[in-house]
Amino acid sequence: MKPNVKEFAKGVLEANQWAQKKDENHGPTLAEILDEVSEECAQQGEQDYPDGTGHSFWAESSDGVKVTTDQARRLGVCTFRHILYEEVMEAFAESDEDLLRAELVQVAAVAAQWISAIDRRKYLRRQK
């Protein structure tokens, strides 16, 4: 059964309001993400594509990316790009839906942290 777009939009609005109140640091970022999800739903409807994950190529690639990220951490040059790429590759390597979902939550969390870091930097530059 496909979700009702109006009900979905109402749910996004409620989640957006909760995010704004729940976390002053990440609330605006989460609210913006929820707005984008709502906009995509309104424009494209429900999206049901195959996952396309779980191939051994992705598992091997994921292992290599982990090594690179670990090296960057040891050298003190780790960036959000390293971390997000590692999380994305871990998601691509996963074939189990529950584990894939958990990895995608981690991808979203890192992306939200990165967005918040950009916003903090911009705020701090304006304060100078």
What are the tens digits of pLDDT across the range 66-98?
Answer: 999 999 999 999 999 999 999 999 999 999 999
Q: What is the mean pLDDT of each run of 10 residues along the chain (128 residues)?
A: 55 55 68 86 87 94 96 98 97 97 95 91 85
Q: What is the dihedral of CA 122, 39, 107, 1, to 10 degrees?
A: 160
Q: How far is CA 4 from CA 33, 37, 42, 44, in A?
A: 20, 14, 11, 13
